Structure 1
């Protein structure tokens, strides 16, 4: 039977429940469930399927599957409730461990055996669809801190929220892969007619010998590069190292564009009160790889740029007087730098794990560091084979095998990897919704599309900082992709848009407020499944032009006052900032244009990081960015 069928599983209430697997061709298969037996025969290919009748929420139940020779597969502790499939890229992937400092008390004090977690194991296929997914370590585990630690934070909080609302078992299936484009999640049949070059791109990687050789060569190159680096780096972790003649840099406006290793050291004085106490070092977020030492001993190592650096210092390691923090950066591409607006400090006390609120007893780090190059290196050769980024490979390997497992709805949270070319995204997204519904043979399958959060990618590339805001109109790739998400959701009667352009972080593509994201998703499912009168983010329902005023009528009242980030363009297509005010369910825009107003285009929050955007419903939900044309 497929990997999804394991003890502890949750099956969907209120729908027929498909049970399927493989046997010998022509073999009789009998299922016993809830005191009833159901029998079928495997087809010529050995495939069999039985659809159990609809059931109400409840359990636990036991499922027995018996073959003709008397062998029995028994699956126990089955609950009937609601099952949700969450998919996309790394913002679905972000684990409870990453967001824990935001919600320490809640995560520490909550567990619920009626919420079960399932994580699909990553796999790719360039050779067509697979019958099943790989075994996974998170296979219908009950929700508690230990099981949730390496599990999706969005999935954790969504399961909790939906259980609180509906009081039935919740099954959360997470199927995501960081950095992947939407094309990887779409079927070949959906892409080949309109995008034949995408299919040819995947076909280039259908040689297993080539892939194996490329991966081996890439691994060998990396190992050799690391070995030469370590042979030539003198190492400056020792507390006794004399750094008095090193260059002083300020982390807020420093970047090292070399390849190899560079060392930073900072002396910090610890008073008698804090000496010997356990602590946590918050070292913000760094680019790219770091090994961090305290007084010559390693306290943490992070292998890539995105995770926050939170390194625990055991009792007795900090001594009174001078202590030395040394950071060894290892860089193979880009520019070494610190991410601004992140916490850089030593935290003490019982609340040192928390960042919401911040701990009461902290010693801030100095922004100034001593810097010295360890070993400069040539560029590391290699050509990584990232099969997960190729069209169709994830649909084939990890999406296709999940069907027809009965689910209640899908969360699609992806798009960051497509912002460089947002033009085809709306079409891709329509195709994804279509081919997934086809796979489940359910054209009414509900989708919640999580819109991209606010983020300023320039933080990764522009030095020195600080980076100024973008007060003038810009043609934002992030806004274009958000618009694709908005228009597709609006045109699909079984899709809703979760707007989160106020929950992002300027400097972090992985914002931490995942509980709030899940609350927005749950509201969308409320509207799709339970109560179509639920109010979501405000939307424009009509427009009117009167002289030099443009009036937008919304589907609900919004918070009154001056509106920011409204732009208007006339026949020349050049957008300029406009003054606008809100009252009731209307927005009045004073047109700054002197040219004819027809056709007229209006944009709102059209930026990567629209911090000033302020249209909100009376309940506080933000409005999506949009572009509309009045003819």
Structure 2
């Protein structure tokens, strides 16, 4: 009898194996968007040691790939110019049909709570214009893929997310920055846009990095593998929320994170560079663009003095990360919440970078003024800038956010005026100025722009402690 049941079990397993359907990662599913004009990677599981046939409806061509003894397989599929919907048939003896597949542009949005913040907002924390955003959400050309929050000590591959069409319901739950970025691209490019959200509030950059990319850094907690897992342990978010989509062809990444790293700001630029380098290497898709947001002003409860150092580190990262760009948000913060409500201006500024740098939209400005040099003339400190081809403006408002100091290194609020393409800063209390700072505090708000409407970021002319 025992042998009988063993035989039945063996036959049952064999039947299940023969009937096994093609299994794909969640990112490959109905309604997905594939990156246009690329040789995109496909992978999954099927029956072992058989020929898997992949047929794409946009050209009716077939690709045959031999599955391994474990059923695993990998292949590549050439995608056409943007369009759709299409179908993809995968056949290992049993057909799996992917329907409603669009070809277009695919981006990832990642980071902590300011990227996670959905269009509907958080408790007592609104997104500006949320209802109007939802009124405009019925857009067939935008598809959403939101990865659920998860943690893992080891890299995992399975997630339960799915592609969703853009609707008021799906958009309300999706990243306000990520969705609007996708919507701006779709509106301008007139092609389908896929946006993949992988974000988790209150998290350190170290959690989004691999153990490999963290080599050489020591200013973070590294618990034992047997300790209770928490969301800020090194690599746990990469393992659970990035690794499952590694290899899915993308155009680029937008990133909004940093508030949590105010406790160790001096290495943030190098960590971000190490993270991006490792992600790109694992993706094996070249140096895709990486656009990120400098954190916004806020009245922080702790580590207030470290916020300006984080501003500096984020600004430095642009020179460390090839094909990157930073959005300044010094004019779009909040004194009451770490989650500023105006997510539209942030998404739009991220879109400026992508449209100008990656989609060849001419005459679109994407970079605000950058401090260049300081000249002292008597009681005046004269500031010069780059990235101001047409000059500077404060839109008829009095300039704010400037401070000046003499040899005593005590900074006090200063008067500042635009003079041609320079800003002249002075104070009656400082007769012999030596240094100027702009919005170099956690809560300081700025209002100086280039004529194209992009803001100057926080900076200082000194190197004082």
Shared fold, TM over 0.5: yes
Task: Please state whether the residue corresponding to 1:191 is helix, strand or coil.
Answer: coil
Aligned counterpart in structure 2 of residue 135 of structure 1, from 157, 160, 165 = 160
Alignment of 1:354-365 (within 5 A): none
| Structure 1 residue 524 displacement after superposition | 1.6
The answer as to whether partners of 2:369 and 2:455 remain within 8 angstroms in 1 is no
Matched, 1:399 2:242: yes
8 A Cα contact 2:331 2:447, kept in partner? no
Given that residues 162 and 170 in structure 1 are in contact (C-alpha distance below 8 angstroms), is that contact kept between their aligned partners in structure 2?
yes
Indicate which of 386, 390, 397 corresponds to 1:554: 386
Q: Check the 8 A contact 2:128/2:341 in 1, yes or no.
A: no
Structure 1's 623 and 454: CA in aligned 2 closer, same or farther, altered over 3 A?
A: same
Which shows bigger deviation, 147-156 or 82-91? 147-156
Q: Verify: 1:58 aligned to 2:80, yes or no.
A: no
- TM-score, structure 2 normalization: 0.84
Identify which of structures 1 and 2 has the higher relative contact order when contacts are C-alpha pairs closer than 8 Å and 6+ apart.
Answer: 1
Query: 1:629 offset after TM fit, Å?
Result: 4.5
CA distance in structure 2 between the aligned counterparts of 1:73 and 1:42, rounded to whole angstroms? 15
Match status 1:48 vs 2:82: no
What residue is the counterpart of 1:615 in the other structure? 448
1:390 pairs with one of 229, 233, 241: 233
Q: 2:179 aligns with which of 139, 143, 156?
A: 156
Aligned residues of 1:181 and 1:389 also touching (Cα < 8 A): yes
Residue 109 of structure 1, CA deviation: 4.8
* TM-score, with structure 1 as normaliser: 0.63
Report the Cα distance in structure 2 between the residues aligned to 1:582 and 1:443, rounded to whole angstroms: 42
Q: Indicate the residue corresponding to 1:22 in structure 2.
A: 45
**Match of 2:438?**
604
Q: Which one has the largest radius of gyration?
A: 1
Give deviations 1:354-382, integer Å, cap 9, x for gaps: xxxxxxxxxxxxxxxxxxxxxxxxxxxxx
Q: Aligned equivalents of 2:107 and 2:219: distance in 1?
A: 32
What is the CA–CA distance in structure 1 between the aligned matches of 2:71 and 2:137, rounded to whole Å? 44
Name the residue aligned to 1:108: 135
Task: Provide the rounded CA distance (Å) in 1 between the counterparts of 2:65 and 2:77.
Answer: 12
Deviation at 1:9, TM superposition (A): 0.4
Q: Distance in 1 between matches of 2:249 and 2:440?
A: 38
Residue of structure 2 equivalent to 1:119 = 146
The residue aligned with 1:368 is none
Unaligned runs of 5+ in 2: 1-23
| 1:578-620 C-alpha deviation (Å, 9 max, x unpaired) | 443223332233487677x8xx654211111213x22112243
2:331 is aligned with 1:514: no
Query: Which structure features the higher share of strand residues?
Result: 1
Tell me the residue number matched to 1:476: 305
Matches within 5 A, 1:56-455: 56-67=81-92, 70-98=93-121, 99=126, 102-126=129-153, 128-130=154-156, 132-136=157-161, 139-195=162-218, 198=221, 201-202=222-223, 204=224, 206-207=225-226, 211=228, 387-455=230-298
Matched residue of 1:147: which SS? helix
Could you tell me which residue of structure 2 aligns to residue 585 of structure 1? 421
Change (3 A) 1:46 1:197: farther
Structure-1 separation of matches of 2:333 and 2:282:
33
How many residue pairs align between the two structures? 427
Q: CA 1:426/1:602 → structure 2, altered by over 3 Å: closer, same or farther?
A: farther
The separation in 1 between residues aligned to 2:150 and 2:237, in whole angstroms, is 7
Tell me the secondary structure at the aligned position of residue 181 of structure 2.
helix
2:3 aligns with none
Q: Would the alpha carbon gap of residues 538 and 515 (structure 1) be closer, same or farther in structure 2, given more than 3 Å must change?
A: closer
Cα shift readout 1:56-109 (whole Å, capped 9, x = no counterpart): 000111111122xx0222111000011110001111111222246734244235
Return the offset for 1:12. 0.7
* Separation of aligned partners in 1, 2:164 and 2:326: 29
Cα RMSD for the two superposed structures: 2.7
Tell me what 2:19 maps to.
none
Distance 1:542 1:105, change over 3 A: closer
| 1:311-352: CA deviation from partner (whole Å, max 9, x where unpaired) | xxxxxxxxxxxxxxxxxxxxxxxxxxxxxxxxxxxxxxxxxx
1:536 aligns with 2:340: no
Following the alignment from structure 1 to structure 2, what is the Cα–Cα distance between the partners of residues 630 and 587?
A: 20
Contact 1:448-1:495 at 8 Å conserved across structures: yes
Q: Secondary structure at the match of 1:189?
A: coil
C-alpha deviations, 1:387-424, integer Å up to 9, x for none?
A: 21111111111112211111111110011111233222
Measured in 2, the distance between the counterparts of 1:428 and 1:403 equals 19
Cα deviation digits, residues 416-438 of structure 1 (max 9, x gap): 11123322211211111111111
Match for residue 624 of structure 1?
A: 457
* Aligned-partner Cα distance in 1 for 2:98–2:329: 39
Q: State the distance in 2 between where 1:413 and 1:163 align.
A: 21
Partners in 2 of 1:475 and 1:575 — Cα distance? 16
CA contact (8 A) 2:82 2:104 kept: yes
- Cα distance per residue 1:192-248 (max 9 Å; x no partner): 3333964xx24x1x33xx64xxxxxxxxxxxxxxxxxxxxxxxxxxxxxxxxxxxxx
1:18 to 1:628, Cα distance in 2 relative to 1, 3 A: farther
Rounded Cα–Cα distance in structure 1 between residues aligned with 2:72 and 2:436: 55
Structure 1 residue 456: Cα displacement: 1.2
CA contact (8 A) 1:62 1:76 kept: yes
Contact residue 81 and residue 171 of structure 1 kept, 8 A: yes
